[in-house]
Structure 1
Amino acid sequence: MAQVVLVTGGTGLVGKAIEHVINTESVGSKFGKQAGETWVFVGTSEADLRDPEQTRKLYEKYKPTHVIHLAALVGGVYKNMKYKLTFLRDNILINDNILHTAYTHKTAKVISCLSTCVFPDAVEYPLDETKLHGGLPHHSNFGYAHAKRLVDVQNRQVAYKEEFGCNFTAAIPTSVFGPHDNYDLESAHVIPALIHRCYLAKKNGTPFVVGGTGRPLRQFIFSYDLAKCFIWMLRNYDDVEPVILSVAEEEEMSVKQIADAIVKAVGFEGEYSFDTTRSDGQFRKPASNKRLLELMGGFEFTPFEQALDLSVKWFVENHDMARTGKTA
């Protein structure tokens, strides 16, 4: 039977990365397209996944045998704090429609994308797959985190695995960056937001100001590396237990280290400071990738500076078409 892989959120950061890997790796290779395989990448222009009828029509149009579910309402820390209910409701609707339509259309496999922000705020580090539901998430991601946690609940604890035997699972990436990111200054995550701010500061001869103290720590995974992990999961992983997709916990970096690296990559030589009146968000949330590496048999991640240089280069070359929002 021919395999049709539908990627929701296919025009975003991770969707574009999966498309890049599928189209550039050798056919039949570990991460390349397989014989008889069709990949379909869809974005919001094709269907509003909050609407069950539009979701149903999307499934009927493409008849996917497999789904990588990336579509979500996402944003940086300040947007998450401002619109907690919107993030909760929209993501619950999107996820429920995707999973239930996959069930009714007998889709063989669904991999949904979660985030490490779903983990409890008060937890013993490093994070691992067993700690997902052990307490409340950080207040800055409260709505989004609860909506994403419910995907794991739906996958196994109340319905699809236990009641219907569906092969639904989830991936939990740490912070992702790379080409085709969201660079809107009001909603972007830390790396694309800082790249955009630094680019504008260099272009306009203005100071480069970083929100917060620069002390919080994060693990970052390059989107092309994450894409390969998703492709591996699609073909080789059939357990309902989510898998953390991340670099090692020892590779945590502070926001200041990130900003310093961006200053270097952009070639910015002006005034550079931190606005300590802005919120830092959660201080750290280190995650273990031990289970991932045991399952995959090892994986070579792209060195951070190399990945950052590629990301900055893409943004500079594609600024006019990038998702930048208003810059005035």
Structure 2
Amino acid sequence: MPNTVLVTGGSGLVGKAIEHIINTEAEGSRFGKLPGEKWIFARSADGDLRDVEQTKKMYEKYKPTHVIHLAALVGGLFKNMKYKLTFLRDNLAINSNVLEISHQNKVEKVISCLSTCVFPDKVEYPLDENKIHIGEPHDSNFGYAYAKRMVDVQDRAYKEEFGDNFTSAIPTNVFGPHDNFQLEDAHVIPALIHKCYLAKQNKTPFVVAGSGKPLRQFIYSYDLAKLFIWMLRSYDDVTPLILSVGEDEEVSIKQVADAIVKAVGFKGEYTFDTTRADGQFRKPASNGKLMGLVGDFKFTPFEDALDNTVAWFVANYENARK
């Protein structure tokens, strides 16, 4: 029987990227679909995964053999700080339902998507796969972080008690087409793209919050999609795997803003508001384990990926999430 791959959260940034790669890579190629394989990109309209009965119905309808679990209640820093219990409760429910119904339906493999916020706040850098549970996560989003950490605990428990092939991926900062470009609630790259675009349209200054000095590792959503497909085919260890560019590819927020100004074609006044907080200066993650396993893999150069993202946003401005 050919495989049926169910992607939860299929309409989000990473889900859309996986759909793009599956539809554009040659069948049977390294990142393409297998002959006869079926891919289903589920969205919230297909069922509320917080509800166990709706989750069961989704599985009865699609009969997945494999699951890439991306669905989650997510939000920016402010939302995480305000709704800690909601983020904890809803994400625990979503993850518990997906894993339990996957177990009941004898799904061959589940890969869940975690976040680097699962790591302890006080930790020695670089982050690696062995440091997830050695201390408490940052207080600003502990509800979300603990819910995501529990996926790793559940994966191990299902593996030890029942032999289920459940694992997780931990991407660093993801960006690309179909991102959430809201000005207040989005992550740094999509928020700055939208802000710079409006500054160009309205002929107003482009002001970036903070000093521009903090460093981050950004992964292009299409590269991340390929790594998820590779994991689906080739990674069967229960230990989560960090999916990221190397530590040597950290980019400062100023470099990000410079690249956005160039890509948008903004010619106006461009400044940094140093009265605004910077957040953590850096939180590098090691991709050593990934690169030792994936073999030959080339990441898209940051500026090329950013140009593609800006071009997508401008072309899809009316329909983009903003």
Secondary structure of 1:130's partner? coil
Is contact 1:177–1:223 with CA below 8 Å preserved after alignment?
A: yes
What number of residue pairs does the alignment pair up? Answer: 322
1:141 — aligned with what?
A: 141
- Say which is worse superposed, 179-188 or 204-213, in terms of deviation: 204-213
Is contact 1:77–1:281 with CA below 8 Å preserved after alignment?
A: no
Instruction: State the identity %.
Output: 74
- Alignment of 1:323 onto 2:315: no
Secondary structure of 2:159's partner? coil
- 1:3-18 to structure 2, matched below 5 A, reads 3-18=3-18
Secondary structure of 2:5's partner? strand
CA drift of 1:283 comes to 2.5
Residues 34-58 of structure 1 show CA distances to partners (whole Å, capped at 9, x for unaligned) of 1120000011111111111111110
Residues 280-313 of structure 1 show CA distances to partners (whole Å, capped at 9, x for unaligned) of 3332210011110111113100000000000000
**Equivalents in 2 of 1:109, 1:115: separation in Å?**
20
2:30 — aligned with what?
A: 30
**Equivalents in 1 of 2:158, 2:140: separation in Å?**
30
Secondary structure of 2:184's partner? coil
- Length-normalised TM-score, structure 1: 0.96
1:217 — aligned with what?
A: 215
- Say which is worse superposed, 64-73 or 77-86, in terms of deviation: 77-86
CA drift of 1:32 comes to 0.4
CA drift of 1:234 comes to 0.2
- Say which is worse superposed, 64-73 or 84-93, in terms of deviation: 84-93
**Equivalents in 2 of 1:47, 1:193: separation in Å?**
29
Is contact 1:138–1:282 with CA below 8 Å preserved after alignment?
A: no
CA drift of 1:222 comes to 0.3
Secondary structure of 1:233's partner? helix
AA in 2 matched with 1:252: E
CA drift of 1:77 comes to 2.3
1:39 — aligned with what?
A: 39
CA drift of 1:275 comes to 2.8
Secondary structure of 1:284's partner? coil
**Equivalents in 1 of 2:277, 2:88: separation in Å?**
21
**Equivalents in 1 of 2:184, 2:56: separation in Å?**
32
1:112 — aligned with what?
A: 112
Residues 7-48 of structure 1 show CA distances to partners (whole Å, capped at 9, x for unaligned) of 001011000100000000001100001112000001111111
CA drift of 1:181 comes to 0.4
- Length-normalised TM-score, structure 2: 0.97
**Equivalents in 1 of 2:297, 2:109: separation in Å?**
23
Is contact 1:140–1:282 with CA below 8 Å preserved after alignment?
A: no
AA in 2 matched with 1:125: Y
2:87 — aligned with what?
A: 87
Is contact 1:76–1:190 with CA below 8 Å preserved after alignment?
A: no
- 1:52-201 to structure 2, matched below 5 A, reads 52-156=52-156, 159-201=157-199
Aligned CA RMSD, in angstroms, stands at 1.1
CA drift of 1:217 comes to 1.4
**Equivalents in 2 of 1:82, 1:264: separation in Å?**
35
1:272 — aligned with what?
A: 270
**Equivalents in 2 of 1:282, 1:88: separation in Å?**
23
**Equivalents in 2 of 1:210, 1:321: separation in Å?**
25
Q: Structure 2 stretches of 5 or more lacking a match?
A: none
CA drift of 1:161 comes to 0.8
**Equivalents in 2 of 1:217, 1:114: separation in Å?**
21
Q: 1:84 to 1:308 in 2, by over 3 A?
A: same
Secondary structure of 2:158's partner? coil
Residues 65-101 of structure 1 show CA distances to partners (whole Å, capped at 9, x for unaligned) of 0000001111222322232222222111111111111
2:298 — aligned with what?
A: 300
**Equivalents in 2 of 1:174, 1:124: separation in Å?**
17
